[in-house]
A and B are shown apart, each in its own frame.
Chain A
Amino acid sequence: MIKRVVDFFGDERHAKKRRRLFYLVLVLIVIADFLVFREHAEYLWERLPGWSALYGFGSCVLLIFVSKFLGHQCGLMRREDYYD
């Protein structure tokens, strides 16, 4: 069972199915976010359905590029023999 699940995520022949399933999940999450009951919202963004999806995506992109910028342009990343 485990092997089949793992193969579904690994094998190239499932790539199309995988992508479809992934997009379906994304759409369902956003739809669900519009439908759930919000009893109290402390902050503005909490009232905004779909905010978390946007924020998650934004955070991910920001983290990737800010980190890589720090690594490459600000010299945090060095050759492996830097300390040798």
Chain B
Amino acid sequence: MTDFVHPGLLFILGALPIPILKGSVRKAYVLLIPTLAILAVLTMHPGSYGAAQFIGQQIMIAKVDKLSVLFATVFSIMALIGTVYALHLTHAAQHVAAFVYVGSALGVVFAGDYLTLFLFWEGMTFASAYLVFAQRSEQALRAGFRYLMVHITGSVALLGGIILHGFATGSVLFGPIEDGLGFATCLILAGFLLNAAVPPLNAWLTDAYPEATVTGAVFMSALTTKTAVYVLARAFPGTDLLVWLGTVMALYGVVYAVLENDCRRLLAYHIVSQVGYMVVGIGIGTEMAVNGAVSHAFAHILYKALLFMGAGAVIHVTGRRKLTELGGLYKTMPVTLALYMVGALAISAFPFFSGFVTKSMVVAAAGQDHRALVVLALTMASSGTFLHTGLKLPYYMFFGTDQGLQAREPPRNMLVAMGMAAVLCIAIGVFPQTLYALLPHPVDFDPYTGVHITESLGVLMFTALGFVIFLRALDPENTISIDTDWFYRMGARRFMWLAEKPLARYEKAVSDVSETAALPFLHGMARAGLRIDLRGVDAFVNAVARAILRGGGALRRLQSGVVTHYALAMIAGVIAAIAVFAVAWR
């Protein structure tokens, strides 16, 4: 085990001392753990570690190959960036939750069997839910509970699938599922798709992420959906269903983003959209498509964290989150704006930014696989991505109507974290080969061809033209959008109504009947019983007792103490006995 230190356990065990450390010691410590984790990931060798037997099943705590190392690398880098961003926090709890969250995500990435995977999967759910609860507002508490309930439901499906799959195949080792979509695999797939936020199972994400703390949302934007992408890439590559789900997903996110007024909810809808590209890539399943999907996940984690950090910085400084209440911040927060825009250009796939070298691989793979409709839909989603994250959000947040907000640049640690992410977004875009070398399959793809550059710029800049022309149509409105969470939010309300109105009324009616009819009847019965007891049973018992008393008195008088009386009685008895004997014997 010397050549393998589990970075997930490093985070989880490393989280334990955080509450007892104070001040700058704690700051140094929380930076040390992610740095060690990055080193652990970079120095690990492919292989299987931690094989053991559990309830008669072979389990494998860690399986290291290129795919798991790729995700572990970006998770640990992101953990470092997210920790720098959260360095100003005075309470330890969020650091602890974030570390357990990252550690669990790494646990999933290395899990060699379903049981280990499930254990860490649950760890992620609970640790991430805390990052929502830590916001402490009434709204956040409610959203946190919804988040928890949805994920626990998904976990139950996953666990059910794992158990059925284990019985069917006799093994719980985690790997590509080859026996088609049976009931067990459907349950597992549903559990995975829920965490990947595939519509209609997407609403937990856009419901909870904007309610999380400013620093917590950065971790959430990076981890849950991308671990789901990882497990899908591991277990379900080439599943045709995923191509269609992913395509719908990519457009679903951008359509909702048009309607959104909350800045982080808009970004959350773009997670849905971007994960759509990855799901499509996994669904296509060719080497290039899977490479595209996982490299896009890598790039996505960094630019999405950057975007969430930018929006979080604005919320941190102004205390406002609605686009209708923001505007004119470019004068006071130019550095935040510039760093945010790096993330926006990266997600929009501008040349020399990370999205350009990864997203295009998925689209090109769809083209090679002769899926014209998918190519067109994904290109349209790219247009929408730039429209919202690159134009609408920065315009209404930083430019637009000046709301006269008293703002300043956020604390330095936030800017440093954003700077780190921004550098990586550009570095990946400029030197894609470094990322390509980490991918699970050999890469034969050059993003920087003339036609690819002009086509991308054409789509993006003419989207900007559309934005300029129809700017007024995009003005944010003070509304919320109904998503699939409507079903359980309104469903829960209907259930409560059912419990409070008809069920409560029925309960009242039943108790009324018992009070008006059943209780008097029972009282009458009891009184009658008492009367019978007193007059009937007691009288009989008393009479018997009196008779016995009288009989006893009579017997006592017979005992006179005179010998002749006794002798007489004995003679009479003998005569009587003889008489009886003589008669009876005959």
Measuring CB to CB, which residues of chain A are less than 8 angstroms from any residue of chain B?
2-3, 5-7, 9-10, 22, 25-26, 29-30, 32-33, 36-39, 42-43, 46, 50-57, 59-68, 70-71, 75-80, 82-83
How many pairs of residues, A versus B, come closer than 8 Å at their CB atoms?
Answer: 157
Q: Are B479 and A60 in contact (CB under 8 A)?
A: no
> Is B185 interfacial (CB-CB < 8 Å)?
no
Contacts of B380 in A (CB 8 A): 55, 59, 62-63
Known: A42-B367, A59-B463, A60-B466. A36 touches B479 (CB 8 A): no
B317 nearest CB across to chain A (Å): 16
Known: A62-B380, A63-B258, A77-B479. A10 touches B331 (CB 8 A): yes
In the docked arrangement, what's the CA distance between A40 and B457, Å?
19
**Which residues 336-381 of B have a CB within 8 angstroms of A?**
337-338, 367-368, 370, 372, 375-376, 379-380
Q: Are A56 and B338 in contact (CB under 8 A)?
A: no
Q: Are A10 and B330 in contact (CB under 8 A)?
A: yes
Q: Are A59 and B458 in contact (CB under 8 A)?
A: no
0 or 1 for each of B253-286: is its CB under 8 Å from A? (1 = yes): 0111011000000000000000000000000000
Q: Are A55 and B464 in contact (CB under 8 A)?
A: no
> Which applies to chain B's interface (DSSP): helix, strand, loop or mixed?
helix
> Is B398 interfacial (CB-CB < 8 Å)?
yes
Q: Are A78 and B480 in contact (CB under 8 A)?
A: yes
Q: Are A60 and B334 in contact (CB under 8 A)?
A: no
Q: Are B458 and A52 in contact (CB under 8 A)?
A: yes
A/B interface sample: 22 pairs, CB < 8 A: A7-B330, A7-B331, A10-B398, A22-B468, A29-B461, A36-B454, A51-B455, A52-B456, A52-B458, A53-B459, A55-B380, A59-B463, A60-B384, A63-B380, A67-B256, A68-B473, A70-B255, A71-B479, A76-B256, A77-B259, A77-B480, A83-B489
> Is B540 interfacial (CB-CB < 8 Å)?
no
0 or 1 for each of B475-496: is its CB under 8 Å from A? (1 = yes): 0011111100000010000000
Q: Are A60 and B255 in contact (CB under 8 A)?
A: no
In the docked arrangement, what's the CA distance between A25 and B464, Å?
11
Contacts of A6 in B (CB 8 A): 330, 334, 337-338
CB closest chain-B residue, reference A79: B479
Q: Are A53 and B462 in contact (CB under 8 A)?
A: yes
Q: Are B259 and A59 in contact (CB under 8 A)?
A: no
Q: Which of B399, B454, B466, B467 contacts A33 (CB 8 A)?
A: B454
In the docked arrangement, what's the CA distance between A43 and B466, Å?
25
In the docked arrangement, what's the CA distance between A34 and B454, Å?
9
Contacts of B111 in A (CB 8 A): none
A12 nearest CB across to chain B (Å): 10
> Is B78 interfacial (CB-CB < 8 Å)?
no
Q: Which of B334, B338, B384, B457 contacts A29 (CB 8 A)?
A: B457
In the docked arrangement, what's the CA distance between A80 and B322, Å?
11
B324 nearest CB across to chain A (Å): 10
Q: Interface size for chain B: under 10, 10 to 19, 20 to 34, or 35 or more residues?
A: 35 or more
> Is B335 interfacial (CB-CB < 8 Å)?
yes
In the docked arrangement, what's the CA distance between A7 and B332, Å?
11
Other A-B pairs, 5, CB within 8 Å; known A42-B370, A59-B379: A26-B465, A59-B380, A59-B459, A78-B479, A79-B480
Q: Are B468 and A63 in contact (CB under 8 A)?
A: no
Contacts of A22 in B (CB 8 A): 464-465, 468
Q: Are B456 and A2 in contact (CB under 8 A)?
A: no
In the docked arrangement, what's the CA distance between A39 and B452, Å?
11
**Which residues 384-440 of B have a CB within 8 angstroms of A?**
384, 387, 398-399
Q: Which of B458, B466, B474 contacts A30 (CB 8 A)?
A: B458
> Is B450 interfacial (CB-CB < 8 Å)?
yes
> Is B470 interfacial (CB-CB < 8 Å)?
yes
B447 nearest CB across to chain A (Å): 14
Q: Which of B335, B376, B387, B450 contacts A63 (CB 8 A)?
A: B387
Q: Are B473 and A65 in contact (CB under 8 A)?
A: yes
Contacts of B458 in A (CB 8 A): 29-30, 33, 50-53, 55-56
Contacts of B367 in A (CB 8 A): 42-43
CB closest chain-A residue, reference B262: A80
Q: Are B331 and A78 in contact (CB under 8 A)?
A: no
In the docked arrangement, what's the CA distance between A25 and B350, Å?
14
